Amino acid sequence: MSPESIPKLARGMKLREDKARAQWVVLGPERMFVPDEIALEVIRLLDGTSSLAAIADTLAARYSAPREEILADITTMLDDLAAKGVVTT
């Protein structure tokens, strides 16, 4: 995924709060996973209009962290989720 890519949840995938278990989950056809705190922050920013670079900028400002490090980390994470069919561009 390049910094210009505009990632979003793949068709049929949804971020939902599981109130019974007090946690967020990503639901899809015949699958579900519980994102960790960092993945949840990134997934919440996948609006289908923001580029990977813009998401990195947002997170860098929010957490006062190095943008390039965040960009590298979220690129790796989103590439992994894309390979699993959870995220698309």
pLDDT digit string, tens, across residues 19-47 = 999 999 999 988 899 999 999 999 999 99
Distance CA 75, CA 69 (A): 10
Q: Which fold has domain 10-83?
A: Arc Repressor Mutant, subunit A (1.10.10)
Residue ranges of domains in the chain: 10-83
pLDDT reported for residue 12: 95
pLDDT reported for residue 40: 95
pLDDT above 90 (res 15)? yes
Task: Report pTM.
Answer: 0.87
pLDDT reported for residue 50: 96
